[in-house]
């Protein structure tokens, strides 16, 4: 039976570009699907949770459709890749929209670049959102980093950044006036702030690694 990778669709983001990239690199017998149905997410062998937009809109859509529970179940049981907003809402809360309760998979908060950069004299010269190419420094080995050189460039678009409580959750760090967590994870979960499907060779290699990952961390 063919393995399935399901891309969670909660109504925000260019999911087709993620699907096309995965179809290009996944094993030949893999079926890549985009779905907004919790039952389909639960049946998947691997789950990708990408997203764009505001945290409050994301969480509202997830709760209204029941995808929030399906995502939490997937996090507990199968290889899981969070991308951009799909990384941020894995934490407990976000400062966005005046404060938003998130999925609480990992301890930590999502914070505003504006407040952090305003505290730095040089930081005021940096634009928000953080948009464009920047490096990711891998803080340790992981199956999804395989074949990706240290400090490779990835493509970012975001105004808020993840700040997990536990240092062990940090898998990658990027500097934009301040160092921030640009990749995090634990066990079968890997999440990245950048957009792998837009990140040229490094991003495509990360998606290829995920399509073959058994969910075991080093």
Whole-prediction pTM = 0.96
Q: Answer yes or no: are the C-beta atoms of 180 and 174 closer than 8 Å.
A: yes
In a domain, residue 105? The reply is yes
In a domain, residue 57? The reply is yes
In a domain, residue 117? The reply is yes
| Nearest residue to 202 via CA among 80, 84, 47, 25 | 25
In a domain, residue 89? The reply is yes
Q: What is the CATH number of the domain that holds 74?
A: 3.40.50.880
Per the structure, the complete domain to which residue 17 belongs is given by 3-212
In a domain, residue 218? The reply is no
Q: How far apart are the first and last CA of the chain?
A: 28
> b/e string for 199-212 if b means 16 or more Cβ within 10 A?
beebbbbbbbbbbb
Per-residue pLDDT of the chain (218 residues; tens, 9 = 90+): 689 999 999 988 779 999 999 999 999 999 999 999 999 999 999 999 998 889 999 999 999 999 999 999 999 999 999 999 999 999 999 999 999 999 999 999 999 999 888 877 765 678 999 999 999 999 999 999 999 999 999 999 999 999 999 999 999 999 999 999 999 999 999 999 999 999 999 999 999 999 999 999 87
Q: Which residues contact 142 (CB under 8 A, 6 or more apart)?
A: 171, 185, 190, 217, 218
In a domain, residue 217? The reply is no
| Nearest residue to 48 via CA among 4, 92, 104 | 4
The Cα 216–Cα 121 span in angstroms is 43
In a domain, residue 185? The reply is yes
Could you give the residue numbers annotated as active site? 84, 195, 197
Looking at the structure of the chain, the number of domains it has is: 1
């Amino acid at each position: 039976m063919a393995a399935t990778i399901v891309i969670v669709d909660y109504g925000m983001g260019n999911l087709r570009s993620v699907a096309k990239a995965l179809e290009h690199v996944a094993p030949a017998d893999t079926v890549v699907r985009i779905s907004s149905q919790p039952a389909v997410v639960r049946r998947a062998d691997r789950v990708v949770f990408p997203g764009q937009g505001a945290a409050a809109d994301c969480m509202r859509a997830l709760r209204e459709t029941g995808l929030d529970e399906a995502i939490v179940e997937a996090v507990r049981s199968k290889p899981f890749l969070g991308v951009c907003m799909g990384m941020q809402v894995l934490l407990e809360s976000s400062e966005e929209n005046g404060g938003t309760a998130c999925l609480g998979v990992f301890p930590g908060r999502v914070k505003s670049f504006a407040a952090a950069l305003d505290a730095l004299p040089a930081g005021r010269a940096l634009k928000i959102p953080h948009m464009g190419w920047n490096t990711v420094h891998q803080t340790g080995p992981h199956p999804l980093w395989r074949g990706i050189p240290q400090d490779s460039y990835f493509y970012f678009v975001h105004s808020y950044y993840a700040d997990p409580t536990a240092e062990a959750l940090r898998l990658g760090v990027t500097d934009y006036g301040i160092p921030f967590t640009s990749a995090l994870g634990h066990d079968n979960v890997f999440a990245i702030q950048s957009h792998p499907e837009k990140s040229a060779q490094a991003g495509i290699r990360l998606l290829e690694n995920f399509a073959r990952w058994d969910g075991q961390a080093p």
